[in-house]
């Protein structure tokens, strides 16, 4: 499939796909001076989006894809790197969650204080 069909299939834009190509995340084949994409490219795009949703930056994803290309999908280095990055993100989310809980408690305290001063 060509880029127009590919962007419709993955619900993206040509600019985004070209950016991913510039970052070496997606490598289309070339046929008659046109980019040709396959189901494998769809899977790569979905993997990129999934990793982004987990909080990984495009730079981090780029490193993962480089490892995948050089070592294969199930290389220990790739899997260890992914686990490490996900553990780091998990810790960040836990810290953010604790911070949000503190803010919520503070807001609840303010609400209670203001509510007590309201006329009955």
Please state the pTM of the whole predicted model.
Answer: 0.66
Choosing among 1.25.40.10, 1.10.1660.10, 2.40.50.140, 3.40.50.1580, the CATH entry for 3-87 is 1.10.1660.10
DSSP state of 91: H
Average pLDDT over residues 12-27: 95
pLDDT at 65: 84
Backbone angles phi, psi at 13, to 5 degrees: -125, 160
Domain boundaries, the chain: 3-87
Chain segment 44-89, per-residue pLDDT in tens: 999 999 989 888 899 988 888 887 777 766 667 777 877 888 888 8
End-to-end CA distance of the chain, in Å? 69
**C-alpha dihedral sign at 20, 25, 26, 29:** positive
């Amino acid at each position: 499939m060509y880029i127009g069909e590919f962007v419709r299939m993955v619900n993206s834009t040509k600019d985004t796909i070209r950016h991913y190509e510039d970052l070496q995340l997606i490598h289309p084949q070339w046929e008659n001076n046109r980019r040709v994409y396959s189901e494998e490219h769809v899977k790569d795009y979905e993997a990129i989006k999934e990793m982004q949703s987990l909080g990984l930056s495009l730079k981090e994803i780029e490193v993962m894809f480089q490892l995948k290309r050089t070592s294969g999908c199930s290389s220990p280095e790739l899997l260890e790197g992914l686990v490490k990055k996900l553990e780091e993100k998990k810790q960040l989310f836990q810290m953010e969650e604790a911070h949000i809980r503190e803010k919520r408690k503070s807001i609840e305290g303010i609400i209670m204080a203001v509510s007590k001063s309201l006329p009955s």
